[in-house]
Amino acid sequence: MSTIKSKIFSLFKSGKLNVFLLFLLLSFAILILTKLSKTYTNTITFDIIKKNIPENHVVLSDSNAKLNVTIKTFGFNLLPYYLKRPKLNIDFETNVIKNDSAYIWTKEKGFPELNSQFDKQIEVVNINPDTLRFRYDKNLVLKVPIKLHSNIQYSPGYDIRDSIVLNPDSIKVIGPHGVVSKIDHILTEEVILKNIKSNISKTVKLQLPDSIKDIKFLENKVTLKAMVEKFTEGELKIPVFVKNVPDSISLKYYPKEVDVYYYTGLSDFNSIAVKDFIVECDYSKIDSEHEYLTPQITKKPKVVKSTRIGQNRIEFIIIE
């Protein structure tokens, strides 16, 4: 083994092996050039690019036709077709015929335009099939609401001031009527935020369904914004009113006021007053099982996040 290694090393050192490899490469290159300079007749599969489809129509995905084109040319001209999947254009304005369900391309009508896409040194011998059918449907443009998919947790004592705003809040969807009409909303990707105590501003991608073909979505992301601030709980004594009391009776009830607890942002706390709330009991809802009045908050300020009443029953007596 050491003897063979020493002989190879001596060949490299003498330069003889380098000369041999050079001649080998030159011979291989000449062989390739000779092959490529010959004329060949081959059949190649071409994908179709559909151009100038009318805006009110969509060509369905099951119409992704292909053409098998037999061409005659030098090997040099054939090489690019094997290095990259070749494509041919079909113009829907000039080279197809439309019927009630499909656009139809024929070799007889479309050959001149198709032939012009090849180099002059390439001869188109045959095209198969000689007819292509492209099924289509009418486009529907529908504005679909965007729904936020989120898991947002705020730091203790913090909360969102108003509501989360998505911009845009809806998306235009364009596609076949039978498919688009079934889409009632689009979800965002899940937004996971924890221990939030400052304003939120974030770009969120939409969950656009890859499984639905022939559909165009005019947006692929939205901006999420929300104002976050420190919240606190307040307490006020609110008068109680009773409604729907028959004119034939006189009613006395107790207590006349209840404690209302409300949760709001610090910036709005001092602006909230008794007049901003209404607490009512509905006499018509009394039954034999509940011989008392139930207070409900029927009016509260918009800036109040949540409320609760300290007493959930109002006693009453009827005076004859």
Taking only the tens place, the pLDDT of each residue in 189-240 is 999 999 999 999 999 999 988 767 778 888 899 999 999 999 999 999 999 9
What pairing do the DSSP bridges indicate for beta strands 296-299 and 250-254? unpaired
DSSP string across 240-298: EEEES--TT-EEEEE-SEEEEEEEEEHHHHTT--GGG-EEEEEGGG-BTTB-SB--EEE
DSSP string across 51-102: E---TTEEE-GGG--EEEEEEEEEHHHHHHHHHS--EEEEETTTS-EE-SSE
* Helix, strand, coil shares, percent, the chain, to 5: 20, 50, 30
Q: What is the mean pLDDT of the chain?
A: 84
pLDDT for position 15: 54
Q: What is the 3-state secondary structure (H, E, C) of 222-233?
A: EEEEECEEEEEE
Domain with CATH 2.170.120.40 in the chain: 138-226
pLDDT for position 115: 87
pLDDT for position 135: 86
pLDDT for position 216: 84
User: CB within 8 A of 306, min separation 6: which ones?
Assistant: 262, 263
Domain made up of 138-226: CATH architecture: Beta Complex (2.170)
What confidence tens digit (pLDDT) does each residue in 18-46 have? 555 555 565 555 545 555 457 778 888 88
What confidence tens digit (pLDDT) does each residue in 92-140 have? 888 888 888 889 988 888 888 988 888 888 888 888 898 898 888 888 8
Contact 60, 138 (CB under 8 A): no
Distance of CA 57 to the CA centre of its chain: 22
The yes/no answer on whether domain 231-319 falls in CATH 2.30.110.10 is no
User: CB within 8 A of 14, min separation 6: which ones?
Assistant: none
Q: How many residues does the chain have?
A: 320
DSSP-assigned letter for residue 149:
-
User: CB within 8 A of 185, min separation 6: which ones?
Assistant: 144, 145, 146, 147
pLDDT for position 99: 86
DSSP-assigned letter for residue 182:
T
Which phi and psi (to 5°) does residue 60 adopt?
-70, 150
Distance of alpha carbon 225 from alpha carbon 203, whole angstroms: 9
Q: Which CATH number fits domain 39-129: 1.10.3470, 1.10.287, 2.60.120, 2.170.120?
A: 2.170.120
Cis amide bond preceding 209, omega within 30: no
Domain with CATH 2.170.120.30 in the chain: 231-319
